[in-house]
């Protein structure tokens, strides 16, 4: 029984590693094989994840609008998203004649690859991480800022004025909201004193930052959620694909699997952003503890760390999905005003408060 309880993702990974290193002598081939295994695992995780998120989005939308949602294909409509995927696979992938063909086909690949690269430093469970590099948080912000290049590429190469307008809006939006995301991440970095994801999670062993960081950290949590919703172009900030004015924005000309890749990237980004919010503010895989109440803490420790991580992540995804059906879409000037006149000044003042708190040790 004891042995069964000790099975975890980290022990699984280390036993696979020791088995492989006994089987393969050459270090280079061992590295390549392990990277390939990690990549396949990531893909095997991501595709069902996108199915779940797609189904969840429809059901949450239906729940918010007092509808039933998908309920025909499969039990409770769970296979609806599979049917949609099959439809998209069999659709013709058109490439417009006047477009820049190479860039047009490259853009969806770049968008998907970038969103998958960001998964690398995320801690899925205790001691279970693809790459725990010592600038983890900075890596996430920098790589996710590359996505805008893919979007601009898609918009420009389509040779369509709506696509170009959508890409421009998206670019302006991502570049400006990146600042607030960065500043709210910095507030956690100041408290932790490290950019490493594992250090940030470990620093929350005696209480998540959202609880022990008091009001300033709560403010930066709210700013992080708002600004990253804008950064991944989700409603109410989906001006880049505002269908009433731009007929689909930067992906107007895309169809079939190329369009599906943009959809895939959107869901992966949603997961990554929520996972980052859970890691930075809600303790990542750390279980919920109350002070020195040992009995309660032991029961919480019994729940696996991967379930804690996924639970927190999906809670934030649920909140972000509810935004979509709660707030109307912003106008462009309102969007930029919100960032430059409200979120950015608030987060700058907030940084000063957080710094004072960190220096004086006014937390916990």
Partner 1 sequence: MDLFEAIFWFLTAMAIGSALGVILSRNPINSVLFLIATFFAISGHYILMNAQFLAIVNIIVYAGAIMVLFLFVIMLMNLNADVEPQKSRLVQFAGIISGGILFLLILAALRDMKAAGVIEKTATDIGLMKNLGKTLFQNYVFPFEISSVLFLSAMIGAMVIGKKETLVIDKN
* Interface residues toward partner 1, by CB under 8 A: 27-28, 31-32, 100, 103, 133-135, 138-139, 141-143, 145-146, 148-149, 152-153, 155-156, 164, 167-168, 171, 175, 195
84 or 339: whose CB is closer to partner 1? Answer: 339
Please report, in angstroms and rounded to a whole number, the separation of the first and last CA atoms in the chain. Answer: 37
37 or 168: whose CB is closer to partner 1? Answer: 168
6 or 333: whose CB is closer to partner 1? Answer: 333
DSSP code of residue 73: S
Pair 339, 179: CB distance under 8 Å? yes
- DSSP assignment string, 155-188: HHHTT-HHHHHHHHHHHHHHHHHHHHHHHHHHHH
Q: In angstroms, how far is CA 50 from the centroid of its own chain?
A: 12
139 or 211: whose CB is closer to partner 1? Answer: 139
DSSP helix/strand/coil, 66 = coil
CB of 152 to partner 1, least distance (A): 5
132 or 301: whose CB is closer to partner 1? Answer: 132
CB of 64 to partner 1, least distance (A): 34
Cα dist. 104→122, 251, 263 in Å?
30, 10, 16
CB of 293 to partner 1, least distance (A): 37
Half-sphere exposure of 280 (CA within 13 A, CB side): 34
Beta bridge partners of 125: 128
148 or 226: whose CB is closer to partner 1? Answer: 148
Find all residues with CB under 8 Å of 82, minimum gap 6, and list them. Answer: 51, 73, 74
Cα dist. 43→8, 36, 39, 183, 226 in Å?
20, 11, 6, 31, 28
Half-sphere exposure of 249 (CA within 13 A, CB side): 19
55 or 162: whose CB is closer to partner 1? Answer: 162
Instruction: Count other C-beta atoms under 10 Å from residue 348's C-beta.
Output: 12
As a dihedral over the C-alpha atoms of residue 239, residue 241, residue 246, residue 249, rounded to 10 degrees, the angle is 120
Instruction: Count other C-beta atoms under 10 Å from residue 278's C-beta.
Output: 27
CB of 273 to partner 1, least distance (A): 17
Pair 263, 184: CB distance under 8 Å? no
CB of 271 to partner 1, least distance (A): 21
150 or 213: whose CB is closer to partner 1? Answer: 150
139 or 224: whose CB is closer to partner 1? Answer: 139
Q: Which residue has the tokens 């998540």?
A: 208
CB of 355 to partner 1, least distance (A): 15
CB of 6 to partner 1, least distance (A): 33
Beta bridge partners of 123: 129
Instruction: Count other C-beta atoms under 10 Å from residue 44's C-beta.
Output: 10
CB of 112 to partner 1, least distance (A): 17
CB of 176 to partner 1, least distance (A): 11
């Amino acid at each position: 029984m004891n042995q069964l309880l000790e099975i975890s993702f980290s022990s699984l990974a280390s036993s696979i590693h020791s088995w492989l290193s006994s089987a393969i002598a050459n270090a280079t081939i061992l590295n390549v094989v392990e990277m390939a295994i990690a990549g396949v695992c990531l893909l095997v995780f991501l595709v069902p994840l996108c199915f779940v998120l797609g189904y969840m989005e429809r059901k949450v939308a239906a729940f918010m609008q007092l509808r039933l949602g998908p309920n025909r294909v499969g039990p409770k409509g769970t296979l609806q998203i599979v049917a949609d995927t099959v439809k998209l696979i069999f659709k013709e992938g058109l490439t417009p004649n006047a477009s820049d063909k190479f860039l047009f086909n490259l853009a969806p690949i770049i968008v998907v690859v970038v969103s998958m690269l960001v998964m690398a430093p995320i801690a899925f469970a205790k001691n279970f991480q693809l790459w725990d590099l010592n600038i983890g948080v900075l890596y996430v912000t920098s790589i996710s800022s590359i996505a805008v290049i893919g979007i601009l590429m898609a918009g420009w190469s389509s040779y369509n004025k709506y696509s170009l307008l959508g890409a421009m809006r998206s670019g302006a939006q991502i570049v400006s909201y990146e600042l607030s995301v960065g500043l709210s991440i910095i507030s956690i970095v100041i408290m932790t004193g490290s950019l490493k994801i594992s250090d940030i999670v470990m620093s929350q062993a005696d209480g998540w930052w959202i609880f022990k960081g008091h009001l300033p950290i709560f403010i930066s949590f709210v700013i992080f959620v708002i600004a990253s919703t804008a950064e991944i172009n989700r409603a109410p900030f989906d001006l880049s694909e505002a269908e009433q004015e731009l007929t689909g924005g930067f992906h107007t000309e895309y169809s079939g699997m190329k369009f599906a890749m943009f959809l895939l990237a959107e869901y992966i980004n949603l997961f990554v952003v929520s996972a980052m919010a859970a890691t930075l503010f809600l303790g990542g895989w750390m279980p919920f503890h109350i002070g020195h109440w040992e009995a309660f803490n032991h029961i919480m420790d019994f729940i696996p760390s991967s379930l804690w991580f996924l639970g927190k992540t999906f809670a934030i995804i649920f909140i972000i999905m509810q935004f979509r059906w709660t707030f109307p879409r912003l106008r462009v000037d309102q969007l930029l005003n919100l960032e430059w006149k409200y979120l950015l000044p608030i987060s700058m003042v907030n940084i000063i408060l957080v710094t004072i708190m960190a220096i004086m040790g006014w937390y916990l």
